Structure 1
Amino acid sequence: MKAIVHDRYGSPDVMEFRDIEMPVMTDDDVLVRVHAVSLNRGDWIVSSGSPYVLRLVFGLRRPKHLVPGRDVAGRVEAVGAKVTRFRPGDEVYAENDFGTLAEYTCVPERLLEMKPANLTFEQAAAVPVAATTALQAFRGRLRPGHEVLVNGASGGVGTFAVQIAKAAGARVTGVCSTRNTGLVRSLGADDVIDYTKDDFTRGERRYDVILDLVGNHPLSALRRTLTPTGTLLLSSGEGGRWFGPMRRILRALAISSFVRQSLRPVSASGNHLAELKDLIEAGKITPAIDRTYPLSQTAEALRYLGVEHARAKVVITVHAAEAG
């Protein structure tokens, strides 16, 4: 089969489009014929190998997994002997551990879910990692009427965060650049701040929850923008090639132990695709896609995502979605 492979760290140019062997299923696996894959910031991090500390997870000298990619949507081609929930022909989507940037991928049954009926394969592929991150960030932290600010509202996670916060009954302010204000407003944001014109940390308004997906403000400034018992959720920030945003996150956790405000990192774990499917089919969440690329142009797509600051989601198309 055709696949994207990377056997060393570096720029997107390390991504090669070539023939490899088909994946081998275990009894608990589902073989998926891939129709679409979406790229995430994590794919850029894995391919670049930076920050270096993450190589302890992804491979010290070279990537541990030859085929990258996590988000996927497609049709079930075959199922393992112990699989009970799926059968060939089912339209599915998943957040896989790795290996989705290929014509076929093996997904453990526990990570798979039926595709939302009202989404195309391209739209469904845009959901898993980004929407799960946003859903988990807000879990147990939102109440109707809460004032919520999403810094980085036009990005992959941000576009879902705006919609999930609105679905929870919050009043949402999105922060983005001038060219993306229309997009963020169309997703349901009550207010939109153009960061090229205004600095939300210098205003008088206070927020119950701030989701910081950019990391372009000091912790002290973000804390001033919170209510006295507000919550700051962090998922990004500068910190050098060794530790990246981890230094900032650890500092936030240390501060949180001594103040009434809650300062926490954003983390995503577990399979929440059934919950997201319900929200999508109820019309409360709609994926936003910036651009699509064929599988052979994955390196170009990754460069656009990481260097040119793509808005919303970038999707890779693989097999065409045939009828039936």
Structure 2
Amino acid sequence: MKAAVRRDYCSPSQLRIEQTDKPIPKNNEVLIRVYATTVNRTDCANLTAKPFIMRFVLGLFKPRKVIVGTDFAGEIISVGNEVATFGIGDKVFGFNDTGAESQAEYLTISEEHIFNIPTDINFKQAAASLEGAHYAYSFVHKVDIRSGQHILINGATGAIGSALLQLVRQFDVKITATANTKNINLIKSMGADKVHDYTKEDFTKKAEKYDFVFDAVGKSTYGKCKSILKENGVYISSEPGPYAQNVFYPLLNPISSKKVIFPIPYKTRETIPYIIKHLELGKFEPVIDKEYSLSEISEAYKYVIKGEKTGNVLIRLINNESTTKPKLS
């Protein structure tokens, strides 16, 4: 089978497509033909081991898993003899932030880590609905959102931010978001009441105050956002911060009226059923920016690392279905 491989932490240009053996499922595993996967921020961190803390999870000197990829959507083509809840032909998807080895034509995975794709959701939409929404779930469920509150989402155009905007929209709250010029209409269409164009203005310099600042791209800091938080307001970032300070700021919460929460992700057994529910109800639709073939995966990584993508970047492995792409401008 063809797979995207790196044996050392590297840049996108050093990622290679290689011919490898098709994996054989263990007794409790299934073999999946991968139809679609994405290149996301987690993938980029896993590829480059940046931030350095990733090495303590993935392998200190070399990655333990050489095939890259964290999410997938595909079809089961073989099952181990102990698999009880899935069968050949089932359409499934899943996400593993430490690596699912999914940027390949086939993968094996234990049955407790896969989920049935909802009816009427195609493989591309399924793959795009995972990584960003998984992390967005943590923002929403680490705090107590109440009717009438005012929430700012910084970076509403990314995979996390666009999912977070749609999940927060389910609450009776006022939402202000940041976006670049071309995506202002898209972000408004997904539920933002007000949008700041971050290419033209600094939201931290505005007079508005917020109950929550959700930094979905991790490009701001608590220090910059503290002045726009209401008394008892909360700042949450998707990143540890320039000096990993967001991991330690919560220690000061008992003596500070304004709080910082570091959103350690929940298990996928909790997040993905929530995602499935919102997909089925039509309350969450993943945003898809660009599509690449597996042979173009280095270019996909380069594009994502630039930090300018809108929503999700797809890698298609079987080109037998279409997806409706939201208008991006």
1:256 to 235, 247, 253: 253
Residue in structure 2 matched with residue 117 of structure 1 by the alignment? 119
Q: How does 1:117-196 map to 2 (within 5 A)?
A: 117-139=119-141, 140-196=143-199
- Determine the C-alpha separation between the residues in 2 that align with 1:95 and 1:53: 20
- Determine the C-alpha separation between the residues in 1 that align with 2:275 and 2:247: 30
- Determine the C-alpha separation between the residues in 2 that align with 1:141 and 1:12: 40
Residue in structure 1 matched with residue 226 of structure 2 by the alignment? 223
Aligned residue type for 2:14: V
SS in 2 for 1:273: helix
> Structure 2 vs 1, CA of residues 308 and 207 (structure 1 numbering), >3 Å: closer, same or farther?
closer
- Determine the C-alpha separation between the residues in 2 that align with 1:257 and 1:29: 45
Deviations 1:227-250 (A, max 9, x none): 2112211112653xxxxx6x2213
SS in 2 for 1:167: coil
- What fraction of aligned residue pairs are identical, expressed as a percent? 30
| Aligned residues of 1:131 and 1:161 also touching (Cα < 8 A) | yes
- Detail structure 1 runs of 4+ shifted over 4 Å in the superposition: none
SS in 1 for 2:77: strand
> Structure 2 vs 1, CA of residues 23 and 169 (structure 1 numbering), >3 Å: closer, same or farther?
farther
Relative to structure 2, which stretch is displaced further, 287-296 or 143-152?
A: 143-152
Deviations 1:293-313 (A, max 9, x none): 011111110100002521110
SS in 1 for 2:314: strand
- Say what the alpha-carbon RMSD is for the aligned residues: 1.8
Relative to structure 2, which stretch is displaced further, 130-139 or 78-87?
A: 78-87
Normalising by structure 2, what TM-score? 0.91
Deviations 1:184-242 (A, max 9, x none): 11211111111122222222211111111233434233122112112211112653xxx
Is residue 32 from structure 1 mapped to residue 50 from structure 2 by the alignment?
no
Cα offset, 1:175, TM superposition: 0.7
| Aligned residues of 1:207 and 1:227 also touching (Cα < 8 A) | yes
List gaps (5 residues or longer) in structure 2.
323-329
Relative to structure 2, which stretch is displaced further, 168-177 or 60-69?
A: 168-177
| Aligned residues of 1:121 and 1:321 also touching (Cα < 8 A) | no
Cα offset, 1:151, TM superposition: 0.4
- Determine the C-alpha separation between the residues in 1 that align with 2:31 and 2:313: 24
> Structure 2 vs 1, CA of residues 252 and 62 (structure 1 numbering), >3 Å: closer, same or farther?
same
- Determine the C-alpha separation between the residues in 2 that align with 1:176 and 1:197: 10
SS in 2 for 1:310: coil
Residue in structure 2 matched with residue 291 of structure 1 by the alignment? 290
| Aligned residues of 2:161 and 2:217 also touching (Cα < 8 A) | no
Residue in structure 2 matched with residue 319 of structure 1 by the alignment? 318
| Aligned residues of 2:210 and 2:230 also touching (Cα < 8 A) | yes
| Aligned residues of 1:7 and 1:14 also touching (Cα < 8 A) | no
Cα offset, 1:251, TM superposition: 4.2
Deviations 1:36-77 (A, max 9, x none): 001111111111122223212111222110111111001111
- Determine the C-alpha separation between the residues in 1 that align with 2:135 and 2:314: 18
> Structure 2 vs 1, CA of residues 252 and 14 (structure 1 numbering), >3 Å: closer, same or farther?
same
- Determine the C-alpha separation between the residues in 1 that align with 2:159 and 2:321: 27
| Aligned residues of 1:29 and 1:83 also touching (Cα < 8 A) | yes
Cα offset, 1:4, TM superposition: 0.6
SS in 2 for 1:281: helix
> Structure 2 vs 1, CA of residues 111 and 200 (structure 1 numbering), >3 Å: closer, same or farther?
same
- Determine the C-alpha separation between the residues in 2 that align with 1:126 and 1:99: 16
- Determine the C-alpha separation between the residues in 2 that align with 1:320 and 1:163: 28
| Aligned residues of 2:222 and 2:235 also touching (Cα < 8 A) | no
Cα offset, 1:90, TM superposition: 1.1
Relative to structure 2, which stretch is displaced further, 179-188 or 298-307?
A: 179-188
Residue in structure 2 matched with residue 242 of structure 1 by the alignment? none
Residue in structure 1 matched with residue 325 of structure 2 by the alignment? none
- Determine the C-alpha separation between the residues in 2 that align with 1:202 and 1:21: 55
Residue in structure 1 matched with residue 80 of structure 2 by the alignment? 80
Cα offset, 1:8, TM superposition: 1.2
